[in-house]
């Protein structure tokens, strides 16, 4: 049974709270679902029973995205599309000089809530009645009702005045991810056409794989990762853009690296292999990272760096290289046998292999020394590196 705006209103009632509290504390497992629904239906209409169970289950799912998930209201798709609070709080900080911000396509309110919690008045615009009922319910749950004004409208036809704006266009149709910015909902061009409308600037959240060529020359582009997982690219315009540069931001630390066009030296692998954070790679800052940490590239086309020293940094993971050779499967298996290797992972860059299928072809000792095998290119040749997992790290900042 799908959730409706009417059910979201009912879920906030005192009657619903009596049932919702214990269900949130202990949501039914899939096995317990039928029994729980049957029990609830003895006292409640079927749609209320289903709304309670769905909310409890979605609150549990949402814990990774929202610290306050247990107080919030969700529906399946809006939750999938919502900005996680760690990212939304980071982007909301840009609006320090904006009194009134329009959230264009607010969904269930991931960004609206972060903006409101940072002290802004937010006009939360969406075309979906369900999403507007969710943003209203969530603002109420977080005591932010006075700062969040939901508005049902098409963001392509703005009839409002706000100082600055934030847009997070939909990146999915059904189960498919969208890669073309013109297929986003709404399309990127329809948002960019509005960028001069907002005196305080515009921020647009986009797919992390955004091609550099489509970035307008007046934008700052920020690629954001959370604990090494690349989440999004944000284009900043007007007063919200600090400059017209491209940069990587790592969350939760907030450390940044600017792409300045530095080129790394290219040399054979040393004692350590470094894999830059995906935000660094997407921002085009691999050479800048190499320069900052004193690393070199092992191939001019591949984003693996190396050094003879261990240089811990949040901007790259690293492994100790035990040995490296031109790529040769038979030789790799001979070496793994000698090393009594327990292959924990196969990583690849610039190689057509399928890591999982490749791993099954490797010698593996269940209790042997833990190893990571890297299949890549070095000095323009197919190469393989046998690395120890002992010193895996992305530790103290630099």
Ligand X SMILES: C[S@@+](CC[C@H](N)C(=O)[O-])C[C@H]1O[C@@H](n2cnc3c(N)ncnc32)[C@H](O)[C@@H]1O
Question: Which positions lie near ligand X, rule CB under 6 A?
Answer: 81-83, 105-111, 125-128, 131, 154-156, 168-170, 185-186
Report the residue number, 205 or 246, with the smaller CB distance to ligand X: 205
Report the residue number, 235 or 298, with the smaller CB distance to ligand X: 235
Which position has the token pair 């039914």?
28
d(CA 186, CA 208): 17
Q: Which residue is nearest to ligand X (CB)?
A: 110
> Which burial class, exposed, middle or buried, applies to 166 when counting CB atoms under 10 A from its CB (0-12, 13-18, 19+)?
buried
Report the residue number, 53 or 106, with the smaller CB distance to ligand X: 106
d(CA 277, CA 298): 17
Going by C-beta distance under 8 Å and a sequence separation of 6 or more, which residues neighbour residue 146? Answer: none
Question: At closest approach, how far in Å is the CB of 151 from ligand X?
Answer: 9
Q: List Cα–Cα distances, 176 to 183, 207, 220, in angstroms.
A: 12, 13, 28
Report the residue number, 139 or 303, with the smaller CB distance to ligand X: 139
Question: At closest approach, how far in Å is the CB of 52 from ligand X?
Answer: 22
Determine contact, residues 202/238, Cβ cutoff 8 Å: yes
Question: At closest approach, how far in Å is the CB of 319 from ligand X?
Answer: 36
**Residue 92 has which token pair?**
């909301």
Report the residue number, 44 or 135, with the smaller CB distance to ligand X: 135
Question: At closest approach, how far in Å is the CB of 199 from ligand X?
Answer: 22
Report the residue number, 126 or 288, with the smaller CB distance to ligand X: 126
Question: At closest approach, how far in Å is the CB of 294 from ligand X?
Answer: 40
Cα angle 270, 273, 276; round to 5: 135
Question: At closest approach, how far in Å is the CB of 110 from ligand X?
Answer: 2
Closest CA to 276 of 298, 305, 308, 245: 305
Question: At closest approach, how far in Å is the CB of 194 from ligand X?
Answer: 12
Q: Where are the beta strands (DSSP E) in 227-301?
A: 229-237, 246-251, 255-258, 272-276, 296-297
Report the residue number, 104 or 373, with the smaller CB distance to ligand X: 104
């Amino acid at each position: 049974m799908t959730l409706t705006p009417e059910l979201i209103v009912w879920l906030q009632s005192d009657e619903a709270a009596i049932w919702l509290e214990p269900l949130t504390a202990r949501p039914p497992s899939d096995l317990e679902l039928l029994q729980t629904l049957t029990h609830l239906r003895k006292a409640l209409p079927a749609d209320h029973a289903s709304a309670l169970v769905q909310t409890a289950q979605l609150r549990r799912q949402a814990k990774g995205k929202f610290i306050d998930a247990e107080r919030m209201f969700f529906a399946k798709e809006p939750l999938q599309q919502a900005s996680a609070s760690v990212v939304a709080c980071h982007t909301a900080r840009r609006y320090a000089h904006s009194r009134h911000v329009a959230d264009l396509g607010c969904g269930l309110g991931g960004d609206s809530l972060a903006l409101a919690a940072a002290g802004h008045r937010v006009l939360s615009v969406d075309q979906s009645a369900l999403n507007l009922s969710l943003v209203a319910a969530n603002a109420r749950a977080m005591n932010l009702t006075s700062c969040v004004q939901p508005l049902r409208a098409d963001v392509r036809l703005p009839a409002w005045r706000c100082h600055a704006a934030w847009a997070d266009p939909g990146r999915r149709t059904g189960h498919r991810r969208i890669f073309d910015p013109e297929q986003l909902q709404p399309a990127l061009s329809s948002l960019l056409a509005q960028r001069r409308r907002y005196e305080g600037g515009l921020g647009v959240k986009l797919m992390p794989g955004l091609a550099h060529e489509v970035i307008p020359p007046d934008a700052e582009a920020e690629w954001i990762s959370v604990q090494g997982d690349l989440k999004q690219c944000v284009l900043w315009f007007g007063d919200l853009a600090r400059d017209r540069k491209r940069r990587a931001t790592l969350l939760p630390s907030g450390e940044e690296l600017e792409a300045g066009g530095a080129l790394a030296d290219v040399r054979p692998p040393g004692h350590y292999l470094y894999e830059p954070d995906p935000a660094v790679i997407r921002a085009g800052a691999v050479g800048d990272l190499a320069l900052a940490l004193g690393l070199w590239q092992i191939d001019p086309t591949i984003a693996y760096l190396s050094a003879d020293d261990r240089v811990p940094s949040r901007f790259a993971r690293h492994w100790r290289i035990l040995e490296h050779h031109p790529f040769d499967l038979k030789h790799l298996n001979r070496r793994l046998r000698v090393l009594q290797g327990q292959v924990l992972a196969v990583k690849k860059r610039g190689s057509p292999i399928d890591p999982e299928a490749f791993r099954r072809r490797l010698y593996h000792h269940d209790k042997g020394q833990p190893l990571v095998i890297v299949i890549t290119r070095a000095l323009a040749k197919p190469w393989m590196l046998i690395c120890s997992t002992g010193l895996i790290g992305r530790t103290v900042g630099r």
